[in-house]
Amino acid sequence: MRQFREFSATHLYCPNCKASMPVREVLLLVLPDGNLYDYRCLVCGDSLGTKKDKKNINIDTTKERRPNEFRRHNSY
């Protein structure tokens, strides 16, 4: 079976392009419980929405954070 591969990109409807367009994920904010991403149309660059990437919420404060979990995204 072939796997359907995407460039880790989603498609969202863009009101400017009037079509479902590939979007770029831009990291907006790094929050304690997750990261906030902005989705921008690859063609016109308009912001089409945001997504909060929730991590496992752990209220156990004795657990230390792992800085190496922070992964770099495509240049911005």
Binding site for Zn ion (CB under 5 A): 14, 16-17, 21, 41, 43-44
For tokens 């880790």, the residue is 8
Tokens of 16: 């400017």
Q: Which CB, 20 or 74, lies closer to Zn ion?
A: 20
User: Nearer Cβ to Zn ion, position 14 or 25?
Assistant: 14
In angstroms, what is the minimal distance from the CB of 51 to Zn ion?
17
Cα–Cα dist 69/24, whole Å: 21
Q: Measured at CB, which residue is nearest to Zn ion?
A: 41
Considering beta carbons, is residue 30 or 44 the nearer one to Zn ion? 44
Q: What are the DSSP E strand ranges found in 1-76?
A: 11-14, 19-31, 34-41, 47-54
Write down the least CB distance from residue 23 to Zn ion, Å. 9
Could you tell me the smallest distance in angstroms from the CB atom of residue 56 to Zn ion? 34
Pick the closest to residue 51 from 8, 15, 3, 19 (CA basis).
Answer: 8
